Amino acid sequence: MGETSNGVLVNHLPSPTWNRLGVNRAFVNFETLPEVEKTFEFTIENAEQITIERKSTKEAVLFADSFSQGIRREATVAGKAPIYQKQIFATGMGAQYTDLVEKLVHKTDILTVSENEKLEDAVILRWDFKKDGKAASQQIIHAKKNSSATFLLIQESEREAKGHVAIETKVILEEGAKVNLIKVNMLGEGFVLMDDTAAVINEGADLEFTQMILGGEKTYTGCYADQAGDGAVFNVNTGYMANKEHLIDINYVACERGENCSSKIYVKGSLRDRAFKTFRGTIDFRRGSKNSVGDEQEDVLLLDEGVINKTMPVILTEEEDVDARHGATIGNLSPEVLFYMGSRGIDKHAAEMLITRGHLISIANTIPDEDTVKKINLFIREAFDSNECF
């Protein structure tokens, strides 16, 4: 399926459901992207710890695919092959988005962590637009055997700024490697962010993926983790908040292929005003993923009457010897919590603010960069202060 004339279809649910629910995929309409001229490049901090190579995108794609080739064994999902896995290196947002990024960028950065190297400081890729701007970028993180590294990707701007950003990050984890990949969106209220992640996780390797979606008018994001090796680990910890008429559309897929794999997808967030959020989370146990476990949970706090929340916690299983769970809780604060807060002099609005901040800050505090944590704190505080409710 090719890109449509005025946009791309992204975030395909691996196993489609009733069309009328409108969750099988999302559509990014190019006609509604803000018009901006200025193009941005990211800056990179602590780069001396790794090797950076800028290759033609075509060459880089072949390089990444070489790590994914041979592990694509399709399952029969609900009797039908998934529609989006034509990609050799499967991504969360899907083939049309990858095609778009590859058209927009001509060069791809390959960030390599050497074998057995344990990086002390986080490598930070920063898109600090300040004012209006646009950017497109593709990078490949290659963590060689038994290496360990943290990569922090931050997009930020002033609150009133507008623009659009298209990012794709592919992560290759060789045997025993560990990568903390942290993505933080603190963009202004006129930004559209498309941010895709894909990973191939080999034997004993571990991808810890943290995502904070705090800003932007529209955020489309996905992550597909191919747990190809035995004992591969993929953990997701995501926090989001959306207000006004902001839109967040998320698609996470953990595909467990090896034995003794483990995945956790934990997502927490709050919605205010007329915000619209869709979360698709899929744990896909392929035949052979014996003794593997998977757990996903979304907790959503709904703070205003006009919000729309869609949650799809999906589990696909073609392996008997697995332990899979999912759950979701959606609603406002319980009367018990409000009563408790009230008994301590905290009114309903203040209680909602405290709980929301608590959810997000608990995730932010895991980011190993003090400056970023402070910025996130400030961003959240300003977001609440700017809302009349608070």
Partner 1 sequence: MENSAKKSTVEFNPELDVSKDDINAYLDSQDRTSIYDFKDDETAFYKLDSGLTEEIVNKISEEKHDPEWMHEFRLKSLDLYNKIQVPQWGSPIDGLNMDNIVTYVRPNTDMKTSWDEVPEEIKSAFDKLGIPQAEHDYLAGVGAQYDSELVYHNLQESVAAKGVVYSDLESAMTGEYADMVKEYFMKLVPPTDHKFAALHGAVWSGGSFVYVPKGVTVEVPLQSYFRLNAKGAGQFEHTLIIVDEGADLHFIEGCSAPKWNVANLHAGCVELYVKKNARLRYSTIENWSKNMYNLNTKRALVEEGARMEWVSGSFGSHVSYLYPTTILKGKDSQCDYTGITFSGKGQNLDTGCRMVHLGENTSSLVTAKSLSKDGGINTFRSSIEVMPSATGSKSSVDCSSLMLDDISRSDTIPEIDVRTADCNIGHEAKIGRISDDAVFYLMSRGISEEEARSMIVSGFANPISKELPLEYAAEMNNLIKLEMEGA
Site string for partner 1, 215-254 (x = CB under 8 A): ----------------------------------------
Among 38, 47, 107, 331, which residue sits at the site for partner 1 (rule: CB under 8 A)?
Answer: 331
CA distance 230 to 201: 9
By CB under 8 A, how many residues form the interface with partner 1? 47
Among 325, 347, 366, 371, which residue sits at the site for partner 1 (rule: CB under 8 A)?
Answer: 325
CA distance 175 to 116: 10
Among 302, 341, 363, 367, which residue sits at the site for partner 1 (rule: CB under 8 A)?
Answer: 302
* Contact between 349 and partner 1 per CB under 8 A: no
Among 56, 329, 365, 366, which residue sits at the site for partner 1 (rule: CB under 8 A)?
Answer: 329
* Contact between 53 and partner 1 per CB under 8 A: no
Backbone angles phi, psi at 359, to 5 degrees: -60, -50
* Contact between 356 and partner 1 per CB under 8 A: no
Q: Which two tokens stand for residue 83?
A: 């529609």
Footprint of partner 1 on 69-108 (CB under 8 A): 76-80
The label of the residue with tokens 């074998």 reads: 115
* Contact between 354 and partner 1 per CB under 8 A: no
* Contact between 55 and partner 1 per CB under 8 A: no
Q: What is the dihedral of CA 371, 158, 378, 192, to 10 degrees?
A: -90
* Cβ count near 349 (within 10 Å): 14
Among 8, 9, 23, 241, which residue sits at the site for partner 1 (rule: CB under 8 A)?
Answer: 23
Among 87, 75, 107, 79, CA closest to 10: 87
* Cβ count near 42 (within 10 Å): 18
* Contact between 351 and partner 1 per CB under 8 A: no
Long-range contacts of 346-351 (CB under 8 A, 24+ apart): 349/389, 349/390, 350/390
Instruction: Give the CB-side neighbour count of residue 133, counting CA atoms within 13 A.
Output: 18
CB 190 within 8 A of CB 161: yes
Among 106, 116, 327, 366, which residue sits at the site for partner 1 (rule: CB under 8 A)?
Answer: 327
Q: Which two tokens stand for residue 256?
A: 């467990």
CB of 325 to partner 1, least distance (A): 5
* Contact between 303 and partner 1 per CB under 8 A: yes
Among 58, 130, 287, 381, which residue sits at the site for partner 1 (rule: CB under 8 A)?
Answer: 287
* Contact between 388 and partner 1 per CB under 8 A: no
* Contact between 320 and partner 1 per CB under 8 A: yes
* Contact between 35 and partner 1 per CB under 8 A: no
CB of 289 to partner 1, least distance (A): 11
Among 332, 331, 352, 351, CA closest to 343: 351
Find all residues with CB under 8 Å of 178, minimum gap 6, and list them: 143, 147, 148, 149, 205, 206, 207, 208
CB of 230 to partner 1, least distance (A): 17
* Contact between 336 and partner 1 per CB under 8 A: no
Residues that bind partner 1 (CB under 8 A): 15-19, 21, 23-24, 76-80, 287, 300, 302-332, 334
